[in-house]
Amino acid sequence: MNVRKKYVLTVTLNPAMDKIWKGRYVSAGKNSICEKKMLSAGGKGINVTRALNHFGLKSITTGFIGGPAGKHLCQCLQKEGIGFDFVLLNAETRTNTTIIDVRTNQITRLVEEGPRGKSRDFQNLKSKYFSLLRKRWCVVLAGRNLPGIKENVYFDLIDMAKRKNVLTILDASGKSLSFGLKAKPFMIKPNLEEAQYAIDRKLDSLLKVKKAVHFFFAMGIKISIISMGARGAVGFDGHNVYWVKPPKIKVVNPVGCGDAFIAGFLWGIYQKQTFSESMQFAVATGTMNALSLQPGDVRQRNLKRILRRVKVQAL
Ligand SMILES: Nc1ncnc2c1ncn2[C@@H]1O[C@H](COP(=O)(O)OP(=O)(O)OP(=O)(O)O)[C@@H](O)[C@H]1O
Ligand SMILES: [Mg+2]
């Protein structure tokens, strides 16, 4: 497959305006003063596209948007030069808020459920998605489903992409992940909690995490990577299991680390790096994300310095 001629497609079914609020002495029931705030287009697929664009890898995003918040989201994407092609809903796109207490470094997220979709909306998305799959070498399906849309939505979308020979990466949680797994995507990247839910087992040791990636492989997933926040990630490509560890850092905002991780991994594949090198790059990109305020912003120049400090261990 000539990846150089084709772009990446990302799908965010339930995108959000991401509000980041920074202040000190944040306490429930009390007034706190804002020191810095930021409003940007968010949602897992959008974050992946943003990070890919920073690497110079062309990517376009789709999903559902609606109302004034949806309009604002498109304006934000336009300003950033991020390509999009959404299905319009007759309901308002959600707004999520991340509250960062700069004194304690504690992070609180206020996550909205999002607008309700109808089955007609899903049919509209499917036909847009079908045409957007043309000229793509990879599709990333990431994040929460839209309330009202059938739970096995990812099964259908993965199946359609596979029929068109497009690589599929699934980053979902709960039932969306469980249903999506049945379509055997090329790659999955759950975090520990999501992987635990999917296989209904506690992953409280490295050995159990190693067994879990083998388990996913036996299910027909070619590449499975379980990310573990500050402890890095464990991945299996059917040949080797690697545990890749990031350096210690002072976290600014951990939201979107998994999304940046996926973008980093894709960049590795695009550069024809080996599996372990791609994982190393992915971990460094995830770590870079934790150092920036905006999810998916991996522009900082010290990526190479972080990459040198990422350790790879065969398990
Ligand atoms: N505190 C941290 N220190 C260093 N690196 C981190 C930290 N948190 C995350 N990372 C990097 O980001 C990667 C993905 O993180 P994590 O497992 O938290 O993803 P996630 O839970 O899917 O995040 P999200 O869904 O919000 O995007 C990790 O493997 C690691 O490389
Ligand atoms: Mg995640």
Nearest to 69 by CA among 91, 41, 93: 93
Protein residues with C-beta less than 5 angstroms from the ion ligand 2: 258
Q: Is 104 a member of any domain?
A: no
Q: Is 152 a member of any domain?
A: yes
Among all chains, which residue has been given the structure tokens 């469980």?
178
**Residue of 144, 261, 278, 288 best suited for mutating to test ligand 1, as the one with most atoms within 8 Å of CB:** 261
Assigned token pair, 50:
């943003």
The verdict on the CB of residue 143 being under 6 Å from ligand 1 is no
Report the distance separating Cα 74 and Cα 236, nearest Å: 37
Q: How much is the pLDDT for 66? A: 96
Report which protein residue has its CA nearest ligand 1's atom 8. Answer: 229
The verdict on the CB of residue 178 being under 6 Å from ligand 1 is no
Q: Is 22 a member of any domain?
A: no
Q: How much is the pLDDT for 296? A: 84
* Neighbouring-strand partners of residue 241: 236
Q: Is 32 a member of any domain?
A: no
Locate the ligand 1 atom nearest the alpha carbon of residue 193 and give its number.
21
Q: Is 102 a member of any domain?
A: no
Q: Is 49 a member of any domain?
A: yes
How many domains, in total, are found in the chain?
1
Locate the ligand 1 atom nearest the alpha carbon of residue 171 and give its number.
22
> How many A from CA of 221 to the centre of ligand 2?
18
> Would you give per-residue pLDDT tens digits along the chain (315 residues)?
444 447 899 999 999 999 989 888 778 888 888 888 999 999 999 999 999 999 989 899 999 999 999 999 999 999 999 999 999 999 999 999 999 888 888 889 999 999 999 989 999 999 999 999 998 999 999 998 999 998 899 999 999 999 999 999 999 999 999 999 999 999 999 999 999 999 999 999 999 999 999 999 999 999 999 999 999 999 999 999 999 999 999 998 888 999 999 999 999 999 999 999 999 999 999 999 999 888 888 887 788 899 999 999 999
Nearest to 107 by CA among 225, 205, 18, 15: 18
Q: In what order do the strands lie in the sheet with 34-42?
A: 34-42, 16-23, 94-101, 106-110
Nearest to 209 by CA among 199, 223, 220: 199
Q: Is 84 a member of any domain?
A: yes
Q: How much is the pLDDT for 31? A: 85
Q: How much is the pLDDT for 144? A: 87
Q: Are 259 and 289 in contact (CB under 8 A)?
A: yes
CATH number at residue 227: 3.40.1190.20
Q: Is 306 a member of any domain?
A: yes
> How many A from CA of 190 to the centre of ligand 2?
6
Q: How much is the pLDDT for 205? A: 96
Among all chains, which residue has been given the structure tokens 């989201």?
73
Q: How much is the pLDDT for 208? A: 97
Locate the ligand 1 atom nearest the alpha carbon of residue 44 and give its number.
27
Q: How much is the pLDDT for 142? A: 96
Report which protein residue has its CA nearest ligand 1's atom 21. Answer: 191
Phi-psi region of 198 (alpha: psi -120 to 50; beta: other; left: phi over 0): alpha
Which residues span the domain enclosing 53? 3-15+42-93+116-314
